[in-house]
Amino acid sequence: MTRGLRLIFLPMLLFCAGFSAPARAEVVVSFYSHDFGDRFPHAFVVLKGTVDATGEMVDANYGFTATSVSPAILFGSVKGKVESSKPDYIAKSDRQFEVTVDDATYARLLAKVDEWRTRDQPSYSLNKRNCVHFVMELAEIVGLAVNRKSKLFKKPKSFLMEVKELNPQLE
């Protein structure tokens, strides 16, 4: 092959190789709030994407709530559970922001979800361990600054907006 042809084909070959390289896998963690109503949880996360190391497709969501909503939650701890919401509930909720995470961070997120899922009962406390506390811990895992002394732990949307204000990179 002549030198001139090599100079033409080599850049074209490299250019085409860029298109055939596998896409980088990633998991996007979206933080949601749902205005108060009769369905729970009012703060939760949605995880979507692909785990880089395994190619596993991710499409999950997690929130934390009381197993049954009654006046008892006003007086102390009650049984709690990690719960996944149906697509219609997610569609009617507000995505406040999202963060893309690597495989190691995704694994830490799942470990934290499992930690909340397996806590000794009663595990839900309106003042100390509610859906906002749950998403706050997940926000910390993905590297976001949070206000652990926030006055907004009973206001999911306001709390997530506070997190957004503390993290200008989310804009």
Report the predicted TM-score, pTM, of the whole model to 2 decimal places: 0.85
Has residue 62 got a pLDDT over 90? yes
Query: What is the model's pLDDT at position 5?
Result: 44
Has residue 18 got a pLDDT over 70? no
Which tokens in the block code for residue 39?
A: 């369905």
- Cβ atoms of 42 and 36 within 8 Å: the answer is yes
Has residue 17 got a pLDDT over 90? no
Query: What is the model's pLDDT at position 54?
Result: 95
The single-letter code of the amino acid at 52 is: D
Q: In what order do the strands lie in the sheet with 57-66?
A: 80-83, 57-66, 43-50, 27-33, 94-101
Burial of 85 per CB tally in 10 Å (0-12, 13-18, 19+): buried
Has residue 11 got a pLDDT over 90? no
Closest CA to 48 of 114, 112, 95, 117: 95
Percent of the chain beyond pLDDT 70? 83
Report residue 160: phi and psi, to 5°.
-65, -30
Closest CA to 164 of 98, 109, 102: 98
